[in-house]
Structure 1
Amino acid sequence: MRKKDDVCEVYCFDEEKVAIRKADLERQKTLPVAQIFKALADDTRIKVAYVLSKEDELCVCDVANIVGCTTATASHHLRLLKNQGLAKYRKEGKLVFYSLDDDHVRQLIELAFIHSMEVK
Structure 2
Amino acid sequence: MDMNNHNQDLKEDTLVKTTQTFKALSDQTRIRILHLLFYKECSVNEIAESLGLQQSTVSHQLRYLKQQRLIKYRRHKTTYYYSPEDHHVFHLLNQAIEHAKHT
- The TM tier, using the shorter chain, reads 0.7 to 0.9
Structure 2 match to 1:34: 19
Cα distance, 1:62–1:24 mapped onto 2, change above 3 Å: same
- State the percentage of identical aligned residues: 36
Structure 2 match to 1:53: 38
Structure 2 match to 1:114: 98
Structure 1 match to 2:49: 65
- What secondary structure is seen at the aligned counterpart in 2 of 1:96? strand
Q: Give the Cα–Cα distance (whole angstroms) in 2 for the partners of residues 92 and 80 of structure 1.
A: 21
Cα distance, 1:27–1:44 mapped onto 2, change above 3 Å: closer
Contact preservation (8 Å) 1:39, 1:45: yes
Contact preservation (8 Å) 1:58, 1:98: yes
Q: CA deviation at 1:79?
A: 1.2
Rg (Cα) greater in structure: 1
Q: CA deviation at 1:27?
A: 7.1
Tell me which moved more, 42-51 or 26-35. Answer: 26-35
With a CA cutoff of 8 Å and minimum separation of 6, indicate the structure with the bigger relative contact order: 2
Gaps of 5+ in 2: none
| 1:41-85 C-alpha deviation (Å, 9 max, x unpaired) | 111111001111111x10110111112111111011111111101
Q: CA deviation at 1:26?
A: 4.7
| Count of residues paired in the alignment | 101
- What secondary structure is seen at the aligned counterpart in 1 of 2:8? helix
**Moved beyond 4 Å, runs of 4+:** none
Provide the aligned C-alpha RMSD in A. 1.9
Gaps of 5+ in 1: 1-16
Q: Give the Cα–Cα distance (whole angstroms) in 1 for the partners of residues 82 and 19 of structure 2.
A: 23
